[in-house]
């Protein structure tokens, strides 16, 4: 039995640990804080293969630059973060074209093709979590903003999606009376699902513990030790943890961990916000995607959560009160009475995003036993089970059963082994 050490206990690290442990591998997860307390909590919980389009796309860079002047816009580039983000943004801009978008879309759609089945398998294997199969209702104030998503759906025919029937505002309000009169058009995708993400994290964690995996909270990895091309251990403040293989799954911090290991991983933290209302007075029938505002309203068993927005402001998890107010105003244009309830919780989470908008999954060139699984951007919940399968296949020496080339770490690598922290 070989031993894998996983750096980062978000949904990606935990699901990878779960798949490896199920195959009889010894697994240790090292998590700086509490498992799942990063981006993997407080998010909208959508399981949406329909959102396979990468974030960089035609026209996106220009929109991002314009947003610097508008801190109340759904996608916001904070000018103060420019010194840290400039290099990453240059690379991002190179991917804002049709060719890169099409290739990225196809790769993401392949990766998420088995997503629903994998979530069912998790549940069947005794992972207890809240999952709903109520579809996803898209709602737009401006019909023109719908075209992009409708075109994307046409590309997903091979995966069982169809060009949707466009509904008018009144049809939509019949489906969801909580929508305001300003909503003019939209459509419904019956096959999409959602989970309550905190229950998913807790469920995977509990199952991992019953399977005998070690998950160590409050354990920050600060360096590595290696012999030539082989990592022998990772360093934590009190000790060194040995392993046969090492997996970086540190979310938005993966670039920092990669630097410790001596290679460059261009990872940007893209902040999102959420407001969660407990015992809500208004209960939505199903999740809603508020298209123009780039927000999601997710109804869970006990709460309603409005979440979304993309903010480029570096590794900075602070809640910006002004942006949160703007987000609430934006949600209020679509939803009636969503804020009334028994109390609320506000959060910010840092999504890990690469300049091409695709995850990074695979072996690190130059090392015999170092792997990466991160960079899932806006789709980490959706893609966690599929990523974990692929990683477990790779690490156990099998074939991942799909083409992982588009996600290879090698695509970013300017390998700089001389910078490695050797202790």
Ligand X SMILES: Cc1cc2nc3c(=O)[nH]c(=O)nc-3n(C[C@H](O)[C@H](O)[C@H](O)COP(=O)(O)OP(=O)(O)OC[C@H]3O[C@@H](n4cnc5c(N)ncnc54)[C@H](O)[C@@H]3O)c2cc1C
Instruction: Name residues whose C-beta falls within 8 Å of residue 70's C-beta, 6 or more positions apart in sequence.
Output: 76
Q: Which of 43, 67, 369, 387 binds ligand X (CB under 6 A)?
A: 43
For residue 220, state whether it binds ligand X (rule: CB under 6 A).
yes
Q: Which two tokens stand for residue 113?
A: 């093709």
For residue 149, state whether it binds ligand X (rule: CB under 6 A).
no
- Answer yes or no: are the C-beta atoms of 387 and 359 closer than 8 Å: yes
Q: How far is the CB of 392 from ligand X (least distance, A)?
A: 16
- Shorter beta-carbon distance to ligand X: residue 69 or 240: 240
SS3 assignment, position 110:
helix
- Answer yes or no: are the C-beta atoms of 350 and 252 closer than 8 Å: yes
Binding mask 221-250 for ligand X (x = CB under 6 A): x---------------------------xx
For residue 208, state whether it binds ligand X (rule: CB under 6 A).
no
Name the phi and psi angles at 77, rounded to 5: -105, 115
For residue 108, state whether it binds ligand X (rule: CB under 6 A).
no
Burial code of 214-224, b = ≥16 C-beta within 10 A, e = fewer?
bbeeebebebb
Q: How far is the CB of 234 from ligand X (least distance, A)?
A: 8
Instruction: Name residues whose C-beta falls within 8 Å of residue 26's C-beta, 6 or more positions apart in sequence.
Output: 1, 2, 3, 4
| Cα–Cα dist 378/369, whole Å | 28
| Cα–Cα dist 162/188, whole Å | 11
Q: Which of 4, 5, 6, 13 binds ligand X (CB under 6 A)?
A: 13
For ligand X (CB under 6 A), the number of binding residues is 44
- Answer yes or no: are the C-beta atoms of 408 and 300 closer than 8 Å: no
For residue 204, state whether it binds ligand X (rule: CB under 6 A).
no
For residue 272, state whether it binds ligand X (rule: CB under 6 A).
yes
For residue 257, state whether it binds ligand X (rule: CB under 6 A).
yes
- Shorter beta-carbon distance to ligand X: residue 169 or 383: 383
Helices (H), 1-77: 11-22, 60-67
- Shorter beta-carbon distance to ligand X: residue 5 or 61: 5
Residues of this chain, 74-103, that bind ligand X according to CB under 6 A: none
Nearest residue to 407 via CA among 12, 73, 8: 12
Which region among 30-38, 119-127, 391-399, 402-410 touches ligand X (by CB under 6 A)? Answer: 30-38
For residue 307, state whether it binds ligand X (rule: CB under 6 A).
yes
Kindly list the residues in this chain that would bind ligand X in the complex (CB under 6 A): 7-13, 30-33, 37-40, 43-46, 220-221, 249-253, 257, 272-274, 296, 307-308, 349, 351-352, 374, 376-382
């Amino acid at each position: 039995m070989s031993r894998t050490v996983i750096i980062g206990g978000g949904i990606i690290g935990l699901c990878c640990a779960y798949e490896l442990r199920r195959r009889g591998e010894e697994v240790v997860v090292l998590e700086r804080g509490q498992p799942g307390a990063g981006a993997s909590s407080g998010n909208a919980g959508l399981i949406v293969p329909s959102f396979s389009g990468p974030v960089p796309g035609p026209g996106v860079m220009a929109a991002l630059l314009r947003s610097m002047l508008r801190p109340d816009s759904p996608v916001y580039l904070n000018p103060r973060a420019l010194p840290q983000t400039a290099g990453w943004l240059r690379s991002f801009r190179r991917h804002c074209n049709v060719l890169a978008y099409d290739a990225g879309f196809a790769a993401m759609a392949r990766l998420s093709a088995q997503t629903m089945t994998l979530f069912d398998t998790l549940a069947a294997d005794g992972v207890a979590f809240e999952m709903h199969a109520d579809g996803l209702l898209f709602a737009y104030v401006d019909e023109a903003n719908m075209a992009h998503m409708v075109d994307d759906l046409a590309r997903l025919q091979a995966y069982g999606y169809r060009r949707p029937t466009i509904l008018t505002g009144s049809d939509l309000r019949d489906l969801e009376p909580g929508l305001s009169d300003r909503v003019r058009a939209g459509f419904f995708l019956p096959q999409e699902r959602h989970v309550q993400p905190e229950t998913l994290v807790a469920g995977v964690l509990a199952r991992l513990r019953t399977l005998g995996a070690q998950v160590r909270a409050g354990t920050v990895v600060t360096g590595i030790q290696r012999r030539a091309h082989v990592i022998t251990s990772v360093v934590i403040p009190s000790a060194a943890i040995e392993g046969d293989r090492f997996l970086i799954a540190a979310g938005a911090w993966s670039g920092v961990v990669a630097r410790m290991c001596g290679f460059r991983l261009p990872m940007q933290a893209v902040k999102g916000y959420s407001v969660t209302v407990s015992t809500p007075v208004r209960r939505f029938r199903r999740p809603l995607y508020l298209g123009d505002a780039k927000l999601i309203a997710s109804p869970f068993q006990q709460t309603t959560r409005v979440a979304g927005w993309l903010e480029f402001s570096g590794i900075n998890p602070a809640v910006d009160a002004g942006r949160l107010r703007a987000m609430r105003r934006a949600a209020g244009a679509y939803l009636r009475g969503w804020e009334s309830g028994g109390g609320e919780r506000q959060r910010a989470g840092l999504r890990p995003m690469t300049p091409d908008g695709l995850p990074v999954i695979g072996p690190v060139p130059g090392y015999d036993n170092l792997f990466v699984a991160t960079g899932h951007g806006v789709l980490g919940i959706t893609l966690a089970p599929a990523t974990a399968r692929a990683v477990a296949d790779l690490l156990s020496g099998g074939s991942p059963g799909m083409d992982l080339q588009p996600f290879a770490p090698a695509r970013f690598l300017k390998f700089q082994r001389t910078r490695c922290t050797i202790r």
